[in-house]
Amino acid sequence: MTGIEESRRLRTVAEQAAQLMRAPLLAAFRSNMAVDYKVDLHDVVTRYDKEAEVAIRAFILGEVPGSVVIGEEAGESGAGRVRWYVDPIDGTSNFARGFAFWCVSVGVAIDGEVVAGAVYDPVAGMLFSADLTGAWLNGEPLRSRAIADERHATLITGYPVARDFRLDGHEQTLANFGELVETFSTLRRPGSGALSLCHVAAGWVDASAGFGSNPWDVAAAVLILKQAGGSYHPLTLGKVATDTSDFMCPGYVALGEGADYPSLMRVARRISCGRDARARDAA
């Protein structure tokens, strides 16, 4: 079991790690940078993702020996009970094109539970962080708040991306998206899951939903959201067991405190149940 003092210490290291590459990342932002692609043309990576992850990984292993670091770009390294989930640039496409919605995310888990984390937005100078005692924005206590009625609320989501059309079918995907657009007062698709969750935690938007996330995308932000009073509802999406830790699930609905959004939950469950059923049929 993780103690309060250990959680606080790990939060401090996570904050330092998240801010480590501030200067070089800001220097590169809105420069004429080359891009590469991973899975397809929708999956952008830059040299700065890789360089930042190398530096953050080395820093963490130096500060907390006996750690495992799982990064988006280089996978897993190290050994020990403390597991770090690092996304050196969450929102790489935005970073590469000069759109100021990207961040660095560093989450820490022990025994399947996230115990500390930090998400840093270098452009805005905002450091979100949390441990087992609370959540903060630039050192000030963070509290989520949401509009109660979804018809007056703002939703951030990455849905749909090209992958969703392949998985759910064009007609159903457009129907899902249309229902969300018609239900919510405002829907935005800014393109960073970690930063979107932090905006829910801060009360700047009311809800967020993701249908293709990885642990390094959300580990830190999940704790920040929950410690700020929001709620996080994981979705298995046909990829993991129902008892999987929430931050390890590939989908989610995140709600600010006070939100009750039945249409969003219905659409999210429809997507998840459909993918669960197709995964069972394919097994």
87 labelled binding-site residue: yes
- Residue 72, annotated as binding a ligand: yes
Q: How far is CA 158 from the centre of its chain?
A: 11
- Of 187, 28, 185, 13, nearest to 102 by C-alpha is 28
Distance in angstroms (rounded) separating the CA atoms of residues 246 and 153: 24
Q: Residue 28 corresponds to which tokens in the numbers above?
A: 């590169």
Buried b (16+ CB within 10 A) or exposed e, 142-151: bbbbbbeebe
The answer on whether 217 is annotated among ligand-binding residues is yes
Q: Is 252 within 8 Å of 245 (Cβ atoms)? A: no
* Contact between residue 202 and residue 227 where contact means Cβ atoms under 8 Å apart: no
Query: CA–CA separation, 236 vs 201, rounded Å?
Result: 22
- 64: which 2 tokens? 């907390």
36 is in an annotated binding site: no
Q: Is 140 annotated as a binding residue?
A: no
**Known binding-site residue numbers:** 72, 87, 89-90, 217
**Known binding-site residue numbers for Mg(2+):** 72, 87, 89-90, 217
